[in-house]
A and B are shown apart, each in its own frame.
Chain A
Amino acid sequence: MAADLGRAGARRAGRRRRLPFSPWHLLLMPVALLFTLPLVQMVLTSFMDDAEINKFPPRFIPSALHLTGYTKLFTQAPALRWLLNTIIVALVSVTAHLILCSLAGYGFARLRFFGRNVGFVIVIATVMIPIQLLMVPTYILFSRLGLIDTIAAAFVPWLASAFGIFLMRQFFLSLPAELEDAARIDGCGTFGVFWRVILPLAKPALATLTIFTLLGSWNDLIWPLIAISDQRSYTIQLGLATFQGTRHTQWSLLMSGNVVATMPLIVAFLLLQRQFVATMTFSGLKG
């Protein structure tokens, strides 16, 4: 459709065309710059020292490669610890999500048992509950469970999700039932069928789930903010947010922290772009 409309448009515009390129570029090029330049400036500024950042008028390109922001970040604050905490939180969240949501998704899609439909409806209904309703009771729940000030408080909310269960269920529903029957006749138990036959086929859905959980748990601010006040258990996002409050003039430090906090995901996105887009499309079209 795009092809045809594009060509039809070009043909009609051909006679009075003045631009050597499609007019759509006039929209897209500035927008693309607007979306990327702040991030470019973030990276460039992280290599300036504070004196240079505070110069007037502001500069865009650093005069030399200063690493003061990064050295301050890792010496004056336990940023390495925060980064490690965040990596642990993301790893635990993704692993738990993959295991628990694929098990539950398979159960809701393929097994027949008492209470299945009611259970699934309840799980889906939980997405209606907004986060602010959960802040207070979750904080109290975490303090009763002794999770306050531990990094567990950052990953427990991400161990499983209604979206993950829904995604895996939809995927398993799309697989032909004959596969399972064949495996069962060959002597596989229910878990064996799931583990040896079904799960290896679910790689695309598992990739989507991985990206969804990685984005969510890595970028999460609200749960660590509520439950963690001990600096040693901070995630990198929480560390940044508190920097913002206490060292709001030390821009080289803040920008270095921003680079450290965002670059892992941006690099992952650039490498696995197709998967990221598929994840968003799924959550949009079928979520």
Chain B
Amino acid sequence: MSAAPTRPAGSTAAPARRRAAPRLLMAGRVAPPQVARRRPVARRVLGRSLTGWAFVGPATVLVVGLSIFPAVWAFLISRQRWNGISRPRDVGWRNYRTLVTDSDLRAAVRHTIVFTALFVPGSVLLGLLLAIALNQRIRLTGFYRTCIFVPYVASAAATGILANFVFNPQFGIANAALRAAHLPEQQFLEGRSEALVMLCVIALWGELGFTVVIFLAALQDIPFDVVEAALVDGARRRHVFRYVTVPHLAPVTVFTTVWQTITALQLFDLVFTTTKGGPLGATQTIVYYVYAQAFQVAKFGYASTVAYGLFGVTLVITLGLLGYARRARIEAF
């Protein structure tokens, strides 16, 4: 305070300031800088920084400490041979060379891609279809929306266990229904060729509520006067859909596609509670493979190498989609 001799009124400013408050308020945001200007610049900047970091520090340290810090560490581990207990041994890029020739990993990548290719279009298209249906002026839409959304609240663990029960080949209700309809019974999660598709169906059951709700909100966001203008100009329903609805939904579609792709590439919980990668490795996904390598056979180094491989792929896909969206002039974020 005493270090501000340039302002003679400084020592008696406090009460005067309080009296002047209403006028300053009307003048906008001038009040705080005037108060602050009486301190030296360096101390003011320091004080502000301390206050600022006191607000954002704890959360930032936690978020960064549990993501970027371990991610960098994982890169160091990915160049080591380590079982988690003994002293890690540096092996350079050897793990990355193994990565290229690992046929189990190739299978895991293939399964993950198949799952993603089924799950992402499925959840986006079905989500859009159901959202359009729920956006009609008909009865019971609130009830339908609740029904479709409820599975989203259930955990992947519970969903997986329930799926094991419903799709049990011997006494599950799904095969009972097929029998009743005189259709051939299925192996479902226990069949090598069906298990991955079944996982996708189960994941859609659990996740579709998310895309439906997002598309529904976007549909209800379309301003009515635009539709009205189109109708006045003689547009048919399909024209309104093509020239008003579709462009309006584009950013949300990009977002859900990216989001669901990331979700699909990280499939783990459901695999863990249903097939555990089986039968005979048919549903081994990349994340499950990382988990198994690290925590079942204790290859910490190699598991981190696989994780970095997937990270690179995810990054390329995400940036590719975003780049495409930007070129197509769609504002997604």
Contact = CB atoms under 8 A, between A and B. Distances in A.
Interface of A: 1-9, 21-22, 24-25, 27-29, 31-36, 38-39, 41-42, 45, 53-58, 60, 100-101, 103-104, 106-108, 111-116, 119, 122-123, 125-126, 128-141, 156-157, 159-162, 164-165, 177-178, 181-182, 184-187, 190, 194, 215, 218-219, 221-222, 225-226, 237-238, 240-241, 243-245, 248, 251, 254-255, 257-258, 261-262, 265-266, 269-270, 273, 276-277, 280-281, 284-285, 287
B41 interface: no
Contacts of B48: 111-114
A25 to B, nearest CB: 7
A166 to B, nearest CB: 10
A130 B265 contact: yes
Interface residues of B, number: 119
Given A27-B133, A54-B171, A136-B300, A38 B162 contact: yes
Given A3-B137, A36-B147, A135-B295, 12 more contacts: A1-B224, A21-B139, A27-B133, A112-B48, A113-B51, A132-B290, A136-B294, A161-B63, A221-B272, A276-B153, A277-B149, A284-B255
Given A133-B311, A134-B71, A140-B84, A181 B31 contact: yes
Contact of A281 (B138, B165, B213, B240): B213
B82 to A, nearest CB: 9
A6 B137 contact: yes
B136 A24 contact: yes
Contacts of B290: 132, 135
B68 interface: yes
B128 to A, nearest CB: 13
Contacts of B318: 128
Contacts of B49: 113-115
B58 A103 contact: yes
B217 A136 contact: no
B55 A106 contact: yes
A29 to B, nearest CB: 8
